[in-house]
Amino acid sequence: MSLMSFITPSLVNSAVQSITPILLAALAGTLCGRVGVFNMAMEGQLLVGAFAAVVGSYATGSALGGVLFAIVFTVLFSLILAYGATVFKGDSVVICIGMNLLAAGLTAYLLRQMFGVSGTFSDPGIVGLTKIRIDAINTIPWIGWIFSRQTAITWLAWILTAAVTIMMFRTPLGLRMRGVGEDASAAGTMGIDVTRYRVLTVLFAGGLTGLGGAQLSLGTVSIFSEDMSAGRGWIAVVAVMLGRNHPLWAALACVLFGVADALSVRLQSQGLPNQLTDIVPYVVTLLALALSHRKRLKRRATETITAHA
Amino acid sequence: MSERSVRAFRFPRIPAVPLAIGIGILIGGLLVLASGGDPIAAYREILIGALAPQNWPNTLNWAVPLVGMTLVAALPLRGGMVNLGGDGQLVIGGLVAALAALYLPLPGPLLIAASILCAMVASGLYASLAAWGETRFGIPMLISTLLLSYPVIGIASYLVGFPLRDMATGLAQTRMIPDAARLPVISGPLNIGLILMIVVAAAVVFYDRRTVGGYELRMRGLNAKFAGYGGVRLAAQQVRVMFASGAIAGLVGAILVLGSLYRYQDGALLTPGYTWSGLMAALLAGGAPLGAIAAGLFFAGLQTGGFAMQRETAIPRVLTMILQSVIILFLAIRHGVGRKSS
């Protein structure tokens, strides 16, 4: 079988879709990392966002309502990390573990209490996000499948990636944020309110991840199922590590995972058991992590993220 | 909000853990109230379900794997390390125990011992892989332990779904293990897994308090650089500790498979969520073994009580998971519970 028939246009389209939540979560992770807050609660934040999006869409009857719910509730949920890791000086790793479990428990509990179902909630009342058709390019092979038929959130995710990169490295605000992360006491001496920067960044990052959650539940399927983030938040954590808190490199890592994800879908349609194809993205993630650290090791003996974590 | 105003709000006279549990119960109660339930009835059912004498065997039976997974998390935590890979380690232990019990040609007690030993060694080696990855290549164990679980769970699921599947049933599970490989029953649901777990728990406490290795591990937790400077070989220690941690997870998997499931069943080891409850219990005690065991027992009571609550009041038992995470979050935020990071 030739490569071209193996990778179909619709496969590319679904790959781009599946990258979006991971990309938004990774973007959130880089922002937090830059101001010196280690965020590994994205798994839980995506879940809260996905759930709130379904609730909002079901209640208001519009996808926009769902997206707004997702953003608002994920920001509220992120208050725990925003204040816990800064003002209250808690261990961010422990806080994030707690948040991930709280998100899993809370969404499962509310799913049962609000909709009376366990497992998966699907209802015609949940309005999904519309795919934007760009008529000018819709019929062009490949290009049409990559750029057309995508949700607004996917577009926004890539625009935000560019915007965050420019903001981070080309504006005074970004300079201050990086200063807060690199040397908080020096930044404080320069008159920057370190705590305020950290709290606001974590909350903004929560909004981004909430948006990713909305894409997860309203982008392709319009359902919520328990634990539907299914490790995407953790993959985003790895993307942040691989990209070393640089949004563009993290985005590149996300594309790698998207390709791996699409590959697993494709392998499954070739008749391989889904238990095996499902693990492809994680194996690719682990390999990428191993390779990147091997290379890094050659340059410098011990630059440990764990010391930071 | 300035730090000063936060300090002013502290209640130093109420010990941290009871306060956190109180807050957890309060928030959980409000949640039940908001969703139209009766919190008093819910908590009463939890208490009866966990502590009424006729329910002790069930609570204890639930506590065996949960306390086991608590020790799995507590041991590395004592040295400031986090093992998030309990799920994968549990699965390897359970699967290896089932396969050993099915295919090793050994008589009765020897078969049990061999199965448990195989499970512990396999899980231990697998867990130390993540430690080796960090010491050799600098791959953060925090994330690698977790990520390694996904492929392991997937492969185990494939194995029992296809090549090792019991064709007599429609489910993804292995054949039943022979009677000779089943753990002897003490009474009711309790089997000698309980005794094995008590022995392991005692061994961990003894190691922590009375041995050079335990001392070195605590030193590492307080200040890894100091421990390294004082002559502790940190890399070897990390691999050793993770081997022990994984081996305990393997034992838990083996006890579940040989003691109550009698076969490896896809998902059966993971759906109860022992790994994460255990991790939270370990965090609650900051990695101190005795405290962690107590916390594990507490969470086990909470969860068996949760089953009773769901049965009697129709309030979903996942509420207990919310209680646990609220307690941990409160402790982490207000009292700096967690790893003593230098």
Which chain B residue has the Cα nearest residue A241? B140
- Please state the domain count of chain A: 1
Q: Residue A174 falls within a domain, yes or no?
A: yes
Residues in chain B within 8 Å Cβ distance of A40: 142-143
CB atoms within 10 A of CB B108: 13
Domain residues for the domain of B261 are: 3-335
Of B158, B280, B283, the CB nearest to A276: B158
Question: What is the 3-class SS of A185-217, one letter each residue?
Answer: HHHHHCCCCHHHHHHHHHHHHHHHHHHHHHHHH
Residues in chain B within 8 Å Cβ distance of A293: 137-139
Provide the shortest C-alpha distance from residue A308 to chain B (in Å).
Answer: 9
Contact (CB<8Å) A113/B133: no
Of B157, B280, B329, the CB nearest to A95: B329
Domain residues for the domain of A66 are: 3-229
Q: Residue B313 falls within a domain, yes or no?
A: yes
Whether B222 has its CB under 8 Å from any CB of chain A: the answer is no
**In the 8-state DSSP scheme, what is residue A243?**
T
Residues in chain B within 8 Å Cβ distance of A97: 84, 279-280, 283, 328
Instruction: Give chain B's end-to-end CA distance (angstroms, integer).
Output: 25
Q: Residue B41 falls within a domain, yes or no?
A: yes
Residues in chain B within 8 Å Cβ distance of A94: 283, 328, 332, 337-339
Q: Residue B127 falls within a domain, yes or no?
A: yes
Cα–Cα nearest to B119, from B269, B237, B267? B269
Q: Which residues contact A28 (CB under 8 A, 6 or more apart)?
A: A39, A42, A45, A205, A206, A208, A209, A212, A236
Task: Find out whether B23 and B330 touch, Cβ atoms under 8 Å.
Answer: yes
Geometric angle at alpha carbon B87, from A292 and A41, rounded to 5° = 60
Residues in chain B within 8 Å Cβ distance of A87: 1, 3, 6
Q: What's the confidence (pLDDT) of residue B13?
A: 59
Q: What's the confidence (pLDDT) of residue A267?
A: 86
Q: Residue A247 falls within a domain, yes or no?
A: no
SS3 A50: helix
Q: What's the confidence (pLDDT) of residue B6?
A: 44
Torsion, Cα B159 B165 B169 B173, to 10 degrees, reads -40
Q: Residue A57 falls within a domain, yes or no?
A: yes
Contact residues, B window 251-280, toward A, CB-based 8 Å cutoff: 276, 279-280
Which chain A residue has the Cα nearest residue B328? A98
Q: Residue B342 falls within a domain, yes or no?
A: no
Predicted confidence (pLDDT) at residue A291 exceeds the cutoff of 60:
yes
Contact residues, A window 58-97, toward B, CB-based 8 Å cutoff: 80, 83-84, 87-91, 93-95, 97
Which chain A residue has the Cα nearest residue B284? A94
Write down the residue that tokens 């207990």 correspond to: B320
Contact residues, A window 250-309, toward B, CB-based 8 Å cutoff: 273, 275-276, 278-279, 282-283, 285-286, 289-290, 293-294, 296-297, 302-306, 309
Q: Residue B341 falls within a domain, yes or no?
A: no
Q: What's the confidence (pLDDT) of residue A302?
A: 44
Q: What is the DSSP string of A53-78?
A: HHHHHHHHSSHHHHHHHHHHHHHHHH
Whether B158 has its CB under 8 Å from any CB of chain A: the answer is yes
Residues in chain B within 8 Å Cβ distance of A95: 329, 332-333
This model of the complex carries an ipTM of 0.89
Ranges of H-type helices in chain B? 3-8, 16-34, 39-51, 56-78, 86-103, 108-132, 141-161, 193-210, 212-222, 224-229, 234-256, 274-284, 289-313, 319-335
**pLDDT values of chain B reduced to their tens digit, one per residue, 342 residues:** 344 444 444 444 568 888 899 999 999 999 999 988 899 999 999 999 998 888 899 899 999 999 999 999 999 999 999 999 999 999 999 999 999 999 999 988 899 999 999 999 999 999 999 999 999 888 899 999 999 999 999 999 999 998 889 888 888 899 999 999 999 998 888 999 999 999 999 999 999 999 999 999 999 999 999 999 999 999 999 999 999 999 999 999 999 999 999 999 998 999 899 999 999 999 988 889 999 999 999 999 999 999 999 999 889 999 999 999 999 999 888 766 555 443
Contact (CB<8Å) A275/B148: no
Give the pairing of strands A120-122 and A223-225: antiparallel
Of A89, A98, A231, the CB nearest to B325: A98
Q: Hey, of A37, A77, A109, which one would you mutate to test binding to chain B, going by the most B CBs within 10 A of its CB?
A: A109
- Please state the domain count of chain B: 1
Of A94, A114, A231, the CB nearest to B150: A231
Write down the residue that tokens 């690199």 correspond to: A182
Predicted confidence (pLDDT) at residue A167 exceeds the cutoff of 50:
yes
Q: Residue B340 falls within a domain, yes or no?
A: no
Q: Residue A13 falls within a domain, yes or no?
A: yes
Mean pLDDT confidence for A239-244: 92
Q: Residue A96 falls within a domain, yes or no?
A: yes
What is the pTM assigned to this prediction? 0.90
Contact (CB<8Å) A105/B325: yes
Predicted confidence (pLDDT) at residue A70 exceeds the cutoff of 80:
yes
Torsion, Cα B23 B28 B30 B34, to 10 degrees, reads 160
Q: Hey, of B3, B143, B171, B270, which one would you mutate to test binding to chain A, going by the most A CBs within 10 A of its CB?
A: B143
Read off the CATH number of the domain in which B115 is found: 1.10.3470
Cα–Cα nearest to B39, from B319, B289, B321? B319
SS3 B177: coil
CA-based R_g, chain B, Å: 21
Q: How far apart are CA B102 and CA B179, in angstroms?
A: 10
**Mean pLDDT lowest for which of A15-29, A285-299, B14-28?**
A285-299
**In the 8-state DSSP scheme, what is residue B183?**
P
Contact residues, A window 107-136, toward B, CB-based 8 Å cutoff: 108-110, 112-114, 118
Q: Residue A242 falls within a domain, yes or no?
A: no
Task: Find out whether B309 and B317 touch, Cβ atoms under 8 Å.
Answer: yes
Q: What's the confidence (pLDDT) of residue A296?
A: 63
Q: Residue A290 falls within a domain, yes or no?
A: no
Task: Find out whether B263 and B174 touch, Cβ atoms under 8 Å.
Answer: yes
Q: What's the confidence (pLDDT) of residue B327?
A: 93
Residues in chain B within 8 Å Cβ distance of A106: 322
